[in-house]
Amino acid sequence: MINLDDMGLIKRLDPSDMLGLVENLPQQCEEAVEIAGKFNLNRKYLDGFIPANIIITGLGGSAIGGDFLRTYLVNESKVPILINRYYHLPEFVNKNTFVIAVSYSGNTEETLSAYQEAKKKGAKIVCLTSGGKLAGYCKSDGIPFVLIPGGLPPRASFGYQQIGLTGILEKAGIIKNKKTEIKEMISVLKSISAEMRRDVPLEKNPAKKMAVQLYGKIPVIYGSQDLTDAVALRWKCQFNENSKSFAFNNVFPELNHNEIVGWEMPKELLKNFVVILLRDKGEHPQVKKRFEITRELLGGIACATEEVWTRGNSLFARIFSSIHTGDFVSVYLAFLNEQNPTPVKRIEELKKRLAM
């Protein structure tokens, strides 16, 4: 097994420094606050616009920020928020819909298609991108957009995207100012990064320890609806893209109505699964019991069952904290798998073939 404390080996396995991008998420968030603060959403563009619904359209690393926002605002927003991951928009989209198109590269074909459809439907549109065709469309169509720094893997721009989306909704008057929550979140991220960065040895580094436990196993990540559901998806996707590992995710209480029965067969394969329970202090009392009972039921079936608790006071900070932890674990697991965490060769191959 790879020695995760060997800095020279990590440098060779990580030539694009994905680990450095993870370690610097707090600083990225600080920069994102400045970018969002400078974004000018012309009041004339909104002209008294009150949305009946909000659509955040994007794919992959450009969609997870929407998932975060939907979860975070589910008990605050009076307006329903839907995440769209497709070429087309729902039929109900019209002039009363607020569409936020997100494409980090600016060239995601599904998002570009959805943008054009939003225009045809007369929806109010704002975009978030680092450039590409989407930025070009916005300039020619007079659509406001948040321009974030480019050159990163989309999944590594989470801070820019999440705070950018939050800033758009603030400037649109849809949500209240989140300055206090974001300040706390950045403080929490700095604490986590200090604990999990590369120079913290294995015996004191919880992210490295979890990566070792997951080595050669299949992660199954369970979150809680409207608390850590988006986090569970993020962990799953980071294991896929960074670690080059298969992974599964689901949420309580839904999984107790179906998936829990699947922990029967094939028995030998199930011994290779490690269950990660993403816990939060805001869990419904019955969901808390479901976590505890499910952990007991899976004892002796899965290889192991581990809990990861969110940190912080505000839900904004708590969600971000678990995402940051998962990002660290996924990169350390990539090193154990002797993989460069940055390339996503199959995705690039798919794009090439689709363009033929």
User: Residue 284: is it exposed, middle or buried by C-beta count within 10 angstroms (0-12/13-18/19+)?
Assistant: middle
**7-15+191-336 matches 18-177 in fold:** yes
User: Is residue 257 annotated as part of the catalytic site, yes or no?
Assistant: yes
Which fold, 7-15+191-336?
Rossmann fold (3.40.50)
Q: What is the mean pLDDT of residues 277-303?
A: 97
Active site residue 241: yes
Catalytic residue from among 23, 117, 181, 241 = 241
Looking at the chain, the whole-number percentage of residues with pLDDT higher than 70 is 100
pTM: 0.97
In this predicted structure, the answer to whether residue 43 has a pLDDT above a threshold of 80 is: no
Instruction: Please give the DSSP secondary-structure letter assigned to residue 204.
Output: G
Which residues make Cβ contacts (< 8 Å) with residue 160, sequence separation at least 6? 28, 31, 32, 35, 148, 149
Q: Domain residues of the chain, as ranges?
A: 7-15+191-336, 18-177
Confidence check: pLDDT of 44 > 90: no
Which whole-number Å values give the CA distances from 250 to 56, 219, 269, 278, 300, in the listed order?
A: 22, 11, 19, 11, 20
Q: Which of 120, 257, 267, 345 is catalytic?
A: 257
Q: Tell me the pLDDT band of 99, cut-offs 50, 70 and 90.
A: very high
Buried b (16+ CB within 10 A) or exposed e, 101-121: bbbbbbbbebbbebbebbeeb
pLDDT (0 to 100) of residue 48: 85
Closest C-alpha to 231, from 152, 166, 162: 162
Query: How confident is the model at residue 47, as a pLDDT?
Result: 83
CA distance 125 to 101: 7
Structure tokens at 66: 């929407």
* Beta pairing partners, 221: 249, 276
CA atoms of 93 and 98, how far apart (whole Å): 9
CA distance 223 to 249: 8
Q: What is the mean pLDDT of residues 234-255?
A: 98
> Is 101:80 a contact under the CB 8 Å cutoff?
no
Q: 18-177 maps to which CATH number?
A: 3.40.50.10490
pLDDT digits over 133-168, tens only? 999 999 999 999 999 999 999 999 999 999 999 999
Q: What is the mean pLDDT of the chain?
A: 97
